[in-house]
Amino acid sequence: MEAPASGGAGEGVAAEGTVNARNTGSLGRRMMLIAAGWISILLLVGGLGLDRTLTSLITRNFDEQLGYMLTAMIGSAEIGPDGEVFFVRPLGDQRFLEPNSGLYWQIRAKEHEDFPSRSLWDRSLDVPEDHYDTRPHVYDSDQFPGEPLRIMERAIILPGSDTQWMFTVAASREDLDEQIRQIRSILGYSFVVLGFGLLLMAGMQTWYGLFPLRHVRRAIQKLRTTGASRVTDPLPQEVEPLVEEINGLLAHTELQAEEARRHAGNLAHALKTPLTVVMNAATARAPDLADTVIREAAVMRRQVDHHLARARAVGRRAAGMSRASVWPSLEAVLRAVERLHEGTRFDLAGNHDGIVALEKQDLEEILGNLIENAAKYGGGSVFVTVDAGQDPGLCEIWIEDDGVGIPAAERIRIFDRGARLDTGKPGTGLGLAIVRDVVEIYGGSVELDESEDLGGLLVRLKLPKAVG
């Protein structure tokens, strides 16, 4: 059998006659896409969280300054003889005295004139009159065009007065918004740089992590170009299982190639003698040429059948996952043999659920040879027992007859090709040889012994059970 041609050494170039396997994409690309996705998600979530935290901190600090000013206003305020509020001491921030400085205060009460800071100049703060907060209340306002404000207010009843005064302090948000913009800008640049750095690191990690696979590729190329039989280059432990499987596949392929060469050599050797006999008879123009051709052709046909049976068994074993139910195959074989040997009594007993790791056709061929031999050479009774042994990994089938049996000295030789002990009955002498070869190919065994119950031959057929 001619093996398929190997692929070419160049990348992306396949030798003529090869079939390129359909790939499922690049591992490196998959790893980079996963890394990029997770980095983007984590940076986005982390950036939003950090932005919210820092913005909150800056705003809280700004509000604390407003609260300090509001507290200073309340602490400096008193009610004058005219019932109006006034400050017993000036507020410390000079910006309250500068018009439109961005920092303002105002005190308001019903039925009283507003008491504003000089910085408000000709403007006033619109304070909602529908609520009075006894605790500081802070909010944003756009009541001054082009100058967003941050306002804090609190309602207070001063000593000596029953009036509820609304103390209000306001500050322009320009400084606060500028700080937030700077923080966000720094965060944005930092996270972009961090993202590119992480992607670069992921790319280097992917390249370095997948680099051993290039060693595997070179090692396989070395097998093809140097004739080595195994991958022996040192590789990382994560790749070792793959290398072990490759070496196991190589060993299996070598075994199959060796079996194929051996079968071809055996077949050629077996056909050589009959062909020589026919050639000599034809050259000598022998008068019995026709009989010689028929006789030698029958020999060659038996040899071809024998080696074809072995080749089929090897091919099916290589395909893997062979399974066959023993009981249905036995029943089918017994129905066929009963028609050929109507006077023989057949008994079948044992496990009905046994499943062996053989192809059904090979199992029935093995059973057919053994049961037909038992019927042919027995005395009229054949007893078949399934799972007679004790090995949990093997299905042992006993085939017993009540014939004369086979002497112990002949029980090994009888498996040789063409060996026959009873030449008075038709046969080729290849049945047991085929049985032994096919059984051994599947990892089983066949033994001959004496039947204690029937007194004839006992054939112990041991076949591997199917897994799962």
pLDDT value of residue 197: 92
Q: Rounded to the nearest 5 degrees, what angle is found at the Cα of 388, between the Cα atoms of 387 and 391?
A: 75
pLDDT value of residue 426: 43
| Location of structure tokens 């800008």 | 185
Q: Is the pLDDT of residue 194 over 90?
A: yes
pLDDT value of residue 41: 93
Question: Please, which pLDDT band fits residue 466 given cuts at 50, 70 and 90?
Answer: confident
Mean of the per-residue pLDDT values of the chain: 81
User: Packing angle between helix 240-283 and helix 289-319, nearest 10 degrees?
Assistant: 170
Task: Report whether 384 contacts 327 (CB < 8 A).
Answer: no
Among 97-101, 123-127, 257-261, which is the least confidently predicted range? 257-261
Q: Pick from 23-27, 417-421, 429-433, 458-462 the range whose average pLDDT is largest.
A: 458-462
pLDDT value of residue 270: 66
Given 3.40.50.720, 3.40.630.20, 3.30.565.10, 3.30.365.10, which CATH number is that of 321-464? Answer: 3.30.565.10
Domain boundaries, the chain: 27-228, 240-316, 321-464
Q: How far is the C-alpha of 286 from the C-alpha of 278, rounded, in Å?
A: 10
Query: Nearest Cα to 386, choosing from 395, 378, 394, 374?
Result: 395
pLDDT value of residue 420: 44
Question: Please, which pLDDT band fits residue 3 given cuts at 50, 70 and 90?
Answer: very low
| Location of structure tokens 């026919």 | 278
Q: Is the pLDDT of residue 64 over 90?
A: yes
pLDDT value of residue 285: 80
Mean pLDDT for the stretch of residues 230-239: 74
Q: What is the pTM assigned to this prediction?
A: 0.49
* H or E element at residue 445: strand 445-450
Q: Is the pLDDT of residue 10 over 50?
A: no
pLDDT value of residue 29: 84
Mean pLDDT for the stretch of residues 307-333: 72
Position with higher pLDDT, 310 vs 158: 158
Q: Is the pLDDT of residue 124 over 50?
A: yes
Mean pLDDT for the stretch of residues 26-33: 84
Task: Report whether 136 contacts 153 (CB < 8 A).
Answer: yes
pLDDT value of residue 436: 85
Backbone Cα Rg of the chain: 50
Mean pLDDT for the stretch of residues 316-344: 81
| Location of structure tokens 């062979």 | 322
Mean pLDDT for the stretch of residues 421-448: 68
| Location of structure tokens 């170039």 | 13
Position with higher pLDDT, 171 vs 241: 171
Question: Please, which pLDDT band fits residue 412 given cuts at 50, 70 and 90?
Answer: confident
CA count, 13 A, side-chain hemisphere, 395: 25
Among 252-261, 293-302, 347-356, 415-424, which is the least confidently predicted range? 415-424
Mean pLDDT for the stretch of residues 4-25: 49
Q: Is the pLDDT of residue 236 over 90?
A: no
- Tell me the C-alpha to C-alpha distance, in Å, between residue 352 and each of 349, 372, 442: 8, 21, 21
Question: Please, which pLDDT band fits residue 389 given cuts at 50, 70 and 90?
Answer: low
Query: Nearest Cα to 73, choosing from 85, 61, 91?
Result: 91
Mean pLDDT for the stretch of residues 420-441: 61
- What SS3 state is found at 7? coil
Question: Please, which pLDDT band fits residue 328 given cuts at 50, 70 and 90?
Answer: very high
pLDDT value of residue 164: 87
Q: Is the pLDDT of residue 418 over 60?
A: no
Q: Is the pLDDT of residue 50 over 60?
A: yes
Question: Please, which pLDDT band fits residue 46 given cuts at 50, 70 and 90?
Answer: very high
Q: Pick from 81-90, 124-133, 170-179, 291-300 the range whose average pLDDT is largest.
A: 170-179
